[in-house]
Amino acid sequence: MSVAHFAVGDRVQVRNLEVEEGLAGHMRAPVYCRGFTGEIERFCGIFGNPESLAYGRDGQPAQPLYRVRFRQIELWPDYRGAAADTLEIEVYQHWLKAS
């Protein structure tokens, strides 16, 4: 099991493990958020890694999961909404790096 090392409020960038590590197959980090920076909104707990579970494996090492909040005007170049609008998604720790 991986130890949780991000705290609420930390600025984190979503990695692109397909590019960085050649990761292929089932993954739960949508492309639209990769490379972008948000902040940790909450720690959600430790969960089996879906990239492993999806292939009948045991999901280990289990990964800390976080809700990450992004500002919409930073995610989309043409965002049509309010400057205060946000988006939150759950990201597993191995997809995050300190920003």
**Residues that bind other proteins in the complex, under the rule CB under 8 A:** 16, 18-19, 25-26, 28-36, 44-45, 47, 50, 53-56, 65, 67, 72, 74-76, 79-82, 84-92
Dist CA 78 CA 86 (whole Å): 14
Dist CA 54 CA 95 (whole Å): 17
Joined together, the tokens standing for residue 64 give 């800390």
Q: Which is nearer to other proteins, 8 or 19 (CB)?
A: 19
Min CB(50)–other proteins separation in Å: 5
Residues sharing a CB contact under 8 Å with residue 53, sequence separation 6 or more, in sequence order: 59
Min CB(17)–other proteins separation in Å: 10
